[in-house]
Amino acid sequence: MTKLTDITTLEDIKLLVDTFYSKVQKDEFIGPIFNEKIGDRWPEHLEKMYRFWQTILLEVHTYSGSPFPPHKQLPVAKEHFDRWMEIFTTTTDELFSGAIAEEAKLRAKNMAEMFNYKIDYFRNAAQNGDLLNLK
């Protein structure tokens, strides 16, 4: 059995991102949402995810922007984030072991919880007419 190593390079990030999103695309529950939203722009999305995770985990600042706005209008609920997190955790554990891999899972969990909370907030506010001009 091969001993797993930690996430330390951009190549590691690419392996994690490519493997994870390959599973997401094929997932019966969340795959259709991602595939419909991203369409034929998967290469562009993956490049953005490489930069995002490289910035977060390796402190190589190649990503700029705000990750939440593209997700604000997605038709998702807590169950979708739970499935996303399940796939992310499983993928990370299959490929890596170490402090940075653990940090990746923690960051993903925090992001999923925050995105879910914010999507619920904006959805509820819009339904209640509390927000007139959402950006």
Taking CA atoms, 125 is separated from 41, 81, 128, 129, 132, in Å, by 31, 20, 5, 6, 9
Is 71 among the annotated ligand-binding positions?
yes
| Cα 105 → chain centroid | 10
* Contact residues for 39 (Cβ-Cβ < 8 A; gap 6+): none
How far is residue 49's CA from residue 46's CA, in Å, rounded to a whole number? 5
Q: How many CA atoms lie within 13 A of 76 on its CB side?
A: 27
Binding residue numbers for heme = 71
| Residues contributing to the annotated binding site | 71
